[in-house]
Structure 1
């Protein structure tokens, strides 16, 4: 099963109704958390070092960063595709990540 997750902040559900909802919420948290912003785990999240790079380079680096971070922090999800929404001319990159749920029985 493959599902899309967008990098948009939202409410945290402390009692997800299903394992799938929990996994998707975890992936969304990874996508919206910059590295060094979590006090007790400075390595959690995505690096934002590519912010000033040209759009094609930023997309390539951010895609690699997303795949590595999701693999590390949410092993029940595998990234199968990253699509960017937004206006590249204005330098706006909003990743939409397609994940496959694995190992949930």
Structure 2
């Protein structure tokens, strides 16, 4: 299985197909917070912001996994890398994912 690194989306390719489409969908989910999409308020994930950084990291990881499993089941999360900056209260999240092709093969 080939592993791809996915960061929050910076640009949208409206003609993406195949693996590029799946990776773009994962990046879009990673970039979208719940309640921000007008036609689907449940789309995305809800970040934890008022918890200790270690607890927030664990809860955010679970929320991201749930969102991707629900909205892009063709992606298999292999690893979630969270880089935390405790002084600024920031977390940079990068995913490593595998992709299921149209035949169900990984």
- Per the normalisation by structure 2, the TM-score is 0.88
Q: Deviation above 4 Å: which 4+ runs of structure 1?
A: none
Match of 2:21 in 1: 22
Aligned residues: CA RMSD: 1.3
Aligned positions of 1:60-75 closer than 5 A: 60-75=58-73
* Displacement of 1:91: 1.2
Match of 1:53 in 2: 51
How many residues are matched? 102
Match of 1:6 in 2: 7
| 1:36 aligns to 2:23 (yes or no) | no
Match of 1:101 in 2: 99
Structure 2 gaps of 5+ residues are none
Deviations 1:34-57 (A, max 9, x none): 101111101000112x11211100
- Contact kept, 8 Å, 2:53 with 2:84, in 1: the verdict is no
